[in-house]
Amino acid sequence: MSEILETIKTLTEINSPSGDTDEAINYVKDYAQELGYQTTITNKGALIIQVDGQNNDLQRCITAHVDTLGAMVKEIKEDGRLAIELIGGFTYNAIEGEYCEITTESGQIYTGTICLHETSVHVYRNNYEIPRDKEHMEIRIDEVTTSDQETKQLGIEVGDFINFDPRTVITPSGFIKSRHLDDKASVAMILHLLQKLKANQIQLPHTTQFYISNNEEIGYGANASISPKIKEFIALDMGALGDGQTSDEYTVSICAKDASGPYNKHLKSHLVNLCKINDIPYKLDIYPYYTSDASAALKAGADIKHGLFGAGIESSHAMERTHIDSIKATEQLLYAYCLSPIE
């Protein structure tokens, strides 16, 4: 598993918040092209990797997203610090104390720390009672600046992207903990699969488009550029863990329903049967506060059977974690699915 874990680490360390994903998309594109696959960049900036199969009339699409949570500069404050606006669905307490990078329009990168304005307990009594929200959270820039004008002279402006330090660690016990495992773990699995298909000269039964989307975290990733030949559409995304969930960090999680509604019953049953036939450890689950690129495609009018499965990710949209066993199980199901016929 060392190769795929290193690919995950490489991907998590490439800044790619929704709206600023070119570097990550190009990394995946170059990887696929070096293997000899045909790639296309859509007008929205997503990447489609086509793998020709025996049947070109009935096709599949498998999507994973390379965009992540992030933020933008909302305001340059009078003291030179930055107010922030969140990108994606997460809370301010999930990023308090985190190191970050601010990327200017010219490409200059500055480092900083996301802080509560009233952080110092020696000055602000009972600061634990202060809400962690846009009124109180800010970025302390690692530059000598004490005014809004001095910060602007650095080239920082409203609308500049803010990226969080992923802090990726692979433990001896087999855990990988990092920001942005949602969904860069899935992107790495697709790259690993493409490498396996090429190395073993495996031809898929159906032409398959691997759609690396770049706007999933803001709700409209893989909802366009979908060929009418595509009959099945799989979102390869994280399994949500927590109280009341059956999913864990050691199996592949198959989604039966999320906030958008039930996933296709027949495709879900097919995924479950593949797990049973191939002895792949799996869990069926419902994700109550979750939508995917597959549900976005349906809402956009795609006439598809849609499904969702992925590795179980602990503490989603915060400091995430999964185990190599979950990655293995997800890879096994991805491989088995790609080699199975469309029913």
Cite the annotated binding site by residue number. 65, 182, 217, 237, 317
Per-residue DSSP letter, 203: P
Which residue is associated with the tokens 């199980």?
329
Give, rounded to a whole angstrom, the gap between the first and last alpha carbons of the chain.
32
Strands 47-51 and 204-213: antiparallel
Q: Look at the alpha carbons of 162, 167, 168, 174 in this order and tell me if their dihedral is positive or negative.
A: negative
DSSP bridge partners of 138: 115
CB-based contacts of 19: which residues, under 8 Å, 6+ apart?
A: 67, 70, 72, 87, 161, 215, 218
Active site residue 216: yes
**Residue from 216, 314, 320, 331 carrying the catalytic annotation:** 216
> In terms of Cα–Cα distance, which of 154, 143, 136 is closest to 111?
143
Q: Residues 21, 214: contact at Cβ < 8 Å? A: yes
Residue 283's H or E segment, with its range, is: strand 282-286
Angle, CA 322 vertex, CA 318 and CA 327 arms, to 5°:
135
CB-based contacts of 169: which residues, under 8 Å, 6+ apart?
A: 176, 177, 178
Q: Residues 195, 36: contact at Cβ < 8 Å? A: no
DSSP string, 19-60: T--HHHHHHHHHHHHHTT-EEEE-TTS-EEEEE-EEEEEEEE
Task: State the Rg of the chain over Cα.
Answer: 21
Binding-site members for Zn(2+) are 65, 182, 217, 237, 317
CB-based contacts of 184: which residues, under 8 Å, 6+ apart?
A: 8, 11, 12, 66, 68
Q: How far apart are CA 177 and CA 293, in angstroms?
A: 24
Q: Which residues are catalytically annotated?
A: 216
